[in-house]
Amino acid sequence: MTDTQGGLRGWAAGRRRSLSRLRFTSLRLRLVVVFALVALTAAVSASGIAYWLNREAVLTRAQDAVLRDFRQEMQNRAGALPEHPTQDQLQRAAGQMAASSQRFSVLLVAQDADGKTVYGNSGGINGFALEDVPESLRTAVAKRQKAADGDKESYHLYWQRVVDHGTPYLVAGTRVIGGGPTGFMAKSLEPEAKDLNSLAWSLGIATGLALIGAALLAQAAATTVLKPVHRLGVAARRLGEGRLDTRLRVSGTDELADLSRTFNNAAEALEQRVAEMAARDEASRRFVADMSHELRTPLTAITAVTEVLEEELEAETGSMDPMIEPAVRLVVSETRRLNDLVENLMEVTRFDAGTARLVLDDVDLADQITACIDARAWLDAVELDAERGLHAQLDPRRLDVILANLIGNALKHGGSPVRVSVREADDSIEIRVRDHGPGIPEDVLPHVFDRFYKASASRPRSEGSGLGLSIALENAHIHGGEITAANSPDGGAVFTLRLPRDASRLTEEGGGDAEDSRTGTDSTGKEGS
């Protein structure tokens, strides 16, 4: 059954590839159509000219032979008749004329001695009649011509081609010079028409064969031209997928070979550039990570000292000199800020290196948000709208980091009360954090998640490191979620966090290794627990 399904899938894929090659926008089809049109135009033109020339030659040759024979018979037979012949004489002469080599039908018209019109027909009563002769031809034959210098004859031989019941005929007529009967002739051109039809069929078949040959040649030419283009497209897709060692085999010296060489040179330059950038990026990450680890040791000692100094300040025993008290408070604040910055830098380094992992647990969202707010003493400034019992498979530590950054950012840059609402949508959850401040300027919105971005250039220093929102976004991404920022129509900024209800699929794909790093927040200067 599996082999059958695989065969059907392969057949369907091959059919799709064939159809894609024949789509109307494909270069292959356009080349075949152009070749076919050119061949069709040339073949039809050549066949038409050949047919016309052969038709004229065949008809002219047959016509000249018939007219020459008819003229000769009129001179020999009709010219030997008396000026006023009887009907019997006309009938006998018409029969003798029709017995010539051309086998045409003859009609002789004359007046007898009594002035009565008499007819002589080679075909009897139902043979060739005067009504079969076109009126225009009869008029031309009966008209007496004026004598000219080059032509002394009073009557000429006239002819015309007619079609009767689908059969072509040559009809001619003339009058005996010097007095005598008028003769008409009708000759069937059906044999010549059959020959011409055979010629037309032959030319049509030749045109069809030429069209098929042109299509085959176009297909061969298209394959020759498009095969390197197809290889180039495949190589470009591989290059776009990150396989920077992709190269094309170059053969020949034509334009396509030059294009392949150019692609190989570009791919080689790109591979070198990416390798250099990756090396610099790796060196930068290693520097940040090493610097952060190296700073931890002295920071631990400094933090211990500042904690002692902070306890002395809070004890209010008077042992602290009032003159140095502001400096001590500044040292405590800046030490805490530096500690947060180091923690944030280490977390960013983990994301950049791809070593950050999820440690999933069943999380009650309402309890998790309440714990985050309570741990930072925000209960009086935050309103929570969350239904109890709404659970999700998430990393609780990273969720706490996201919530702490979003809520802390809303409290610091927006205005209280900050409202946090939780909604369930299909297989995901949506957490909205809205403040009541002035909102986010439109030019700042695209950059709120950028690292170290400061909304105001006049205040480059702030209590935060400029990494909180970017770390929150990375933590959302590692869950397969997203964070968006916008302004509410009723005023204030709105951050919307969307996470899947179950992120276990991501840990299965990514390996799911646990890591116990801690992530700082910009909003409180405290580490997320």
Share of the chain above pLDDT 70, in %: 82
pLDDT of 8 reads 55
In Å, how far are 29, 210, 518 from 20, measured between CA atoms? 10, 27, 52
Cα(407)–Cα(455) distance, integer angstroms: 18
pLDDT of 519 reads 42
pLDDT at position 305 over 50: yes
Q: Which band of pLDDT confidence, cut at 50, 70 and 90, is reported for residue 286?
A: confident
Q: Which band of pLDDT confidence, cut at 50, 70 and 90, is reported for residue 482?
A: very high
Which range in 36-50, 63-77, 451-465, 511-525 is most confidently predicted, on average pLDDT? 63-77
Query: What is the pairing mode between strands 382-385 and 418-425?
Result: parallel
Mention every residue, 6+ apart, whose C-beta is less than 8 A from residue 54. 196, 199
Q: Which band of pLDDT confidence, cut at 50, 70 and 90, is reported for residue 526?
A: very low
Q: Are 373 and 386 in contact (CB under 8 A)?
A: no
pLDDT of 2 reads 43
In Å, how far are 22, 223, 246, 254, 263 from 249, measured between CA atoms? 27, 17, 10, 14, 11
pLDDT at position 458 over 70: no
Q: What mean pLDDT is predicted for residues 391-418? A: 88
Rounded to the nearest integer, the mean pLDDT of the chain is: 78
Residue at 211: amino acid letter? L
pLDDT of 15 reads 56
pLDDT of 464 reads 57
SS3 content of the chain, % helix, strand, coil (to 5): 55, 15, 30
pLDDT of 484 reads 92
In Å, how far are 200, 299, 334, 337 from 462, measured between CA atoms? 93, 20, 11, 10
Q: Which band of pLDDT confidence, cut at 50, 70 and 90, is reported for residue 498?
A: very high
Q: Are 51 and 203 in contact (CB under 8 A)?
A: yes
Picking from 248-257, 258-267, 383-392, 470-479, which range would have the lowest pLDDT averaged per residue? 248-257
Q: What mean pLDDT is predicted for residues 497-515? A: 68
**How many helices (H) and strands (E) are present in the chain, helices listed first?**
11, 12
Q: What is the pLDDT of residues 419-457, one digit of tens each?
A: 999 998 878 899 999 998 888 888 888 888 887 776 554
pLDDT at position 321 over 80: no
What pTM, to 2 d.p., does this model score? 0.46
Q: Which band of pLDDT confidence, cut at 50, 70 and 90, is reported for residue 184?
A: very high
Residue, of 508 and 161, whose pLDDT is higher? 161
Q: Which band of pLDDT confidence, cut at 50, 70 and 90, is reported for residue 316?
A: low
pLDDT at position 333 over 90: no
Picking from 7-11, 65-69, 276-280, which range would have the lowest pLDDT averaged per residue? 7-11
pLDDT of 146 reads 65
Share of the chain above pLDDT 90, in %: 8
Q: What is the pLDDT of residues 18-58, one digit of tens each?
A: 555 444 456 677 777 777 788 778 878 888 888 788 877 88
Half-sphere exposure of 71 (CA within 13 A, CB side): 11
Q: How many CB atoms lie within 10 A of CB 60?
A: 10
Q: Take residue 410 and report the two structure tokens written for it.
A: 């809303």
Helices (H), 241-358: 255-315, 325-353
Q: Which band of pLDDT confidence, cut at 50, 70 and 90, is reported for residue 319?
A: low
Q: Which band of pLDDT confidence, cut at 50, 70 and 90, is reported for residue 499?
A: very high
